[in-house]
Amino acid sequence: MFRRVLIANRGEIAVRVTQTLQQLGITAVSVYAQPDRCAMHVRQADEAYLLEGETTAQTYLRGENIIAIAKAHNIDAIHPGYGFLSENAEFAQMCQDNGITFIGPSPEVITNMGDKLIAKKVMTDAGIPVVPGLTVSVKDAETIRKDVANIGYPVLVKAAAGGGGKGMRLVASENELADAMAAAQREAKSAFGDDRVFIEKYIDKPRHVEIQIFGDTHGNVVHLFERECSIQRRHQKIIEESPSPAISSELRQQMGESAVQAAKAIGYTNAGTVEFILDQSGKFYFLEVNTRLQVEHPVTEFITQQDLVHAQLLVADGQALPFTQDSLKQTGHALEARIYAEDAERNFLPSTGTIIHYVPPSAPYVRVDSGVSTGSEVTVHYDPMLAKLIVWGATREESLRRMSWALQHFVVMGVTTNIEFLRQVIEHPAFQKGELHTHFLEEHEVSPPPDSQTPDAVLIAAAYGSKQSSHQMTNVSSSPNAESNNPWLTGGSWRAF
Amino acid sequence: MLSVTLKPIHSDDNFDITLSQDNASGNNLFIFQCSDTHHEVRVDATGHGAGCLNLHGKTIPFYTVKQGNELSVWVEGRIYKFDIVDQTAQRGSAVAQQHSGNEIKAAMPGTILQINAKPGDTIEADQSIIIMESMKMEMSLTSPRKGVIASITCEPGDMVSMGDILATLTPQDD
Q: Bigger pLDDT: A491 or A42?
A: A42
Q: A57 with A141, same domain?
A: no
Residues in A closer than 8 angstroms to B162, CB to CB, are none
Is B6 within 8 Å of A423 when comparing Cβ atoms? Answer: no
Residue from B44, B59, B67 to probe the interface with A (highest A Cβ count within 10 Å): B67
What pLDDT score does A77 carry? 98
Within-domain flag for A138: yes
Residue type, A413: M
User: Domain with A296 in it: what CATH number?
Assistant: 3.30.470.20
User: Which residue in B has a C-alpha nearest to residue A405's C-alpha?
Assistant: B77
What's the rounded Cα separation, in Å, for the pair A278 and A284? 4
Residues in B closer than 8 angstroms to A480, CB to CB, are 47
pLDDT tens digits along A100-134: 999 999 999 999 999 888 998 999 999 999 988 88
How many contacts, defined by CB atoms under 8 Å, are there between A and B? 190
What's the rounded Cα separation, in Å, for the pair A145 and A42? 53
How close A366 comes to chain B (CA, Å)?
17
From residue A110, how far is each of A126, A193, A267, A286 by CA, in Å?
A: 18, 18, 11, 17
Is B91 within 8 Å of A455 when comparing Cβ atoms? Answer: no
Is B79 within 8 Å of A420 when comparing Cβ atoms? Answer: yes
Residues of chain B with CATH 3.30.700.30: 2-89
pLDDT tens digits along B30-40: 999 999 999 99
Residue type, A436: L
pLDDT tens digits along A48-107: 999 999 999 999 999 999 999 999 999 999 999 999 999 999 999 999 999 999 999 999
What pLDDT score does B135 carry? 66
Confidence at B108, pLDDT banded by 50, 70, 90: confident
| Rounded mean pLDDT, A457-468 | 93
Whether the CB-CB separation of A228 and A208 falls below 8 Å is answered with: yes
How close B115 comes to chain A (CA, Å)?
15
pLDDT tens digits along A326-367: 999 999 999 999 999 999 988 899 999 999 999 999 999 999
Of A411, A466, A480, the CB nearest to B74: A411
Within-domain flag for A294: yes
Q: Per the residue annotation, which of A16, A169, A252, A292 is the catalytic one?
A: A292
Q: A186 with A252, same domain?
A: no
What's the rounded Cα separation, in Å, for the pair B91 and B97? 12
What pLDDT score does A476 carry? 36
Q: A290 with A193, same domain?
A: no
Is A492 within 8 Å of B95 when comparing Cβ atoms? Answer: yes
- Burial call B8-27: b when 16+ CB within 10 Å, e when fewer: beeeeeebebbbbbbbeeee
Residues in B closer than 8 angstroms to A459, CB to CB, are 6, 15, 17, 32, 34
What pLDDT score does A231 carry? 98
pLDDT tens digits along A290-307: 999 999 999 999 999 999
CA angle A481, A487, A491 (to 5 degrees): 130
Q: A249 with A362, same domain?
A: yes
What's the rounded Cα separation, in Å, for the pair A161 and B67? 43
Q: A226 with A371, same domain?
A: yes
Lowest mean pLDDT, pick from A302-311, B74-83, B116-125: B116-125
B108's enclosing H/E stretch is none
| Rounded mean pLDDT, A434-460 | 88
The answer, yes or no, to whether residue A494 has pLDDT greater than 70, is: no
Of A451, A471, A488, the CB nearest to B21: A488
From residue A384, how far is each of A58, A74, A175, A288, A347 by CA, in Å?
A: 20, 32, 38, 24, 14
Q: Bigger pLDDT: A74 or B100?
A: A74
Residues of chain B with CATH 2.40.50.100: 96-171
Strand B128-134 with B147-152, pairing: unpaired
Q: A191 with A223, same domain?
A: no
Whether the CB-CB separation of B18 and B115 falls below 8 Å is answered with: no
User: Domain with A192 in it: what CATH number?
Assistant: 3.30.1490.20
Within-domain flag for A481: no
What's the rounded Cα separation, in Å, for the pair A442 and A452? 25
What's the rounded Cα separation, in Å, for the pair A79 and A355? 28
Residue type, A285: Y
Of A460, A481, A495, the CB nearest to B23: A495
Q: Bigger pLDDT: A159 or A45?
A: A45
How close A192 comes to chain B (CA, Å)?
38
What's the rounded Cα separation, in Å, for the pair A189 and A159? 9
Confidence at B89, pLDDT banded by 50, 70, 90: very low
Strand A385-393 with A366-370, pairing: antiparallel
Q: A239 with A295, same domain?
A: yes
Contacts of B163 (CB under 8 A, 6+ apart): B105, B106
Query: Both ends of chain B: CA-CA distance in Å?
Result: 30
Across chain A, mean pLDDT equals 91
CA atoms within 13 A on the CB side of A385: 22
| Rounded mean pLDDT, A245-270 | 96
Within-domain flag for A457: no
What pLDDT score does A415 carry? 96
Within-domain flag for A152: yes
Whether the CB-CB separation of B84 and B6 falls below 8 Å is answered with: yes
Among A149, A168, A201, identify where a domain stops: A201
Confidence at B27, pLDDT banded by 50, 70, 90: confident
CA angle B41, B43, B48 (to 5 degrees): 150
Q: A317 with A191, same domain?
A: no
Residue count of chain A, please give it. 497
Residues in A closer than 8 angstroms to B6, CB to CB, are 459, 462-463, 466
How close B25 comes to chain A (CA, Å)?
7
Q: Bigger pLDDT: A453 or A255?
A: A255
What's the rounded Cα separation, in Å, for the pair A100 and A461? 55
Spell out the CATH class of B2-89. alpha beta
What's the rounded Cα separation, in Å, for the pair A424 and A420? 6
Q: A181 with A268, same domain?
A: no
Spell out the CATH class of B96-171. mainly beta
| Rounded mean pLDDT, B131-155 | 83
Q: A194 with A213, same domain?
A: no
Within-domain flag for A181: yes
The answer, yes or no, to whether residue B125 has pLDDT greater than 70, is: yes
Of B4, B28, B66, the CB nearest to A471: B66
Is residue A346 annotated as part of the catalytic site, yes or no?
Answer: no
| Domain range for A98 | 4-103
Percent of chain B whose pLDDT exceeds 70: 87
Q: A282 with A407, same domain?
A: yes
What pLDDT score does A240 carry? 98
Whether the CB-CB separation of B79 and A448 falls below 8 Å is answered with: no
Number of domains in chain A: 3
The answer, yes or no, to whether residue A488 has pLDDT greater than 60, is: no
pLDDT tens digits along A175-215: 999 999 999 889 888 888 888 888 989 998 999 999 999 99
Is B66 within 8 Å of A465 when comparing Cβ atoms? Answer: yes
Strand B50-55 with B58-67, pairing: antiparallel
